[in-house]
Amino acid sequence: MKKILLIALLLNTVLFAKAQSVEDVIKKVKAKLDKVNDYEAIGKMKTNVVFIKAPIAKVKVYYKKPNKLRINNESGISFIPKGSVNINLNNLFVNTNGFDMIDMGKEAKTNLRIIKLLPKDENAEVVLSTLYIDESQSLIKKSKTTTKENGTYELEMSYGKYAEYGLADKVIFTFNTKDYKLPKGITFDYDDGSKKDQPTDKLKDKKGKVEISYSSYTINRGVPDSVFK
């Protein structure tokens, strides 16, 4: 009896685990995200691109279903990376005719479920997304997206107050940047006689980073379309 019970228990866990199929995991994650029709968030954005010296910007981020997103710098000017629309996780699930999902098991260290999404639509901009999901909370903690045109994006989220909506308190968006080099004729340079202190290997690191820390979200109160123009 004891044995049966033990087996049943074991089986149960196995079965339970089986029940958390990739589809389920994604469904749960999506369900959480679907609760949000729109939001307006206030935050601070830090840009870290090797060739841009930028101040920290106060930003407002607007979102509206299905995939409208806008980052507005309220205090000045910010270089907004292309593909920044992806900081809204909903974007992972639109634009395509569904996905093939591949279960990659769990990441040993963090115990996050790794799932790869392959859009079925051959013309889709996104080629592949790899998601790292906290199953217990149904939150995407990390994602890597490979696109056809714009290289690879990475997202890293940490959650707090707005976890129940699947909205992060902090997003780090890592993206590829191309070379920046302008001919001196059209730029505002002068040679101050100092040696070029930028090591060339630093320049070769073409990853740019944008970090947005949200202080508040206003969810589902309606956002006019004019914002996204």
Binding site for another protein (CB under 8 A): 46-56, 75-77, 79-82, 84, 175-184, 186-194, 198, 203, 208
| CB of 211 vs another protein, minimal distance in Å | 9
Q: Which is nearer to another protein, 3 or 181 (CB)?
A: 181
**Integer angstrom CA distances of residue 46 from 30, 78, 184:** 28, 9, 28
Q: Which is nearer to another protein, 16 or 190 (CB)?
A: 190
| CB of 221 vs another protein, minimal distance in Å | 24
Contacts of range 161-164, beta carbons closer than 8 Å, 24 or more positions apart:
162/214, 162/217, 162/219, 163/137, 163/139, 164/32, 164/35
Q: Which is nearer to another protein, 72 or 96 (CB)?
A: 72
In a 10 Å sphere around its CB, with 0-12 CB exposed, 13-18 middle and 19+ buried, how is residue 69 labelled? middle
**Residue matched to tokens 């999506």:** 30
| CB of 152 vs another protein, minimal distance in Å | 13
| CB of 89 vs another protein, minimal distance in Å | 19
- Alpha carbon distance 211, 27 (integer Å): 27
| CB of 188 vs another protein, minimal distance in Å | 5
Radius of gyration of the chain (CA): 21
| CB of 186 vs another protein, minimal distance in Å | 6
Exposure string for 186-211, b = 16+ CB within 10 A, e = fewer: eeeeeeeeeeeeeeeeeeeeeebbbb
Q: Which is nearer to another protein, 74 or 164 (CB)?
A: 74
- Alpha carbon distance 139, 85 (integer Å): 18
- Alpha carbon distance 213, 58 (integer Å): 10
Q: Which is nearer to another protein, 69 or 104 (CB)?
A: 69
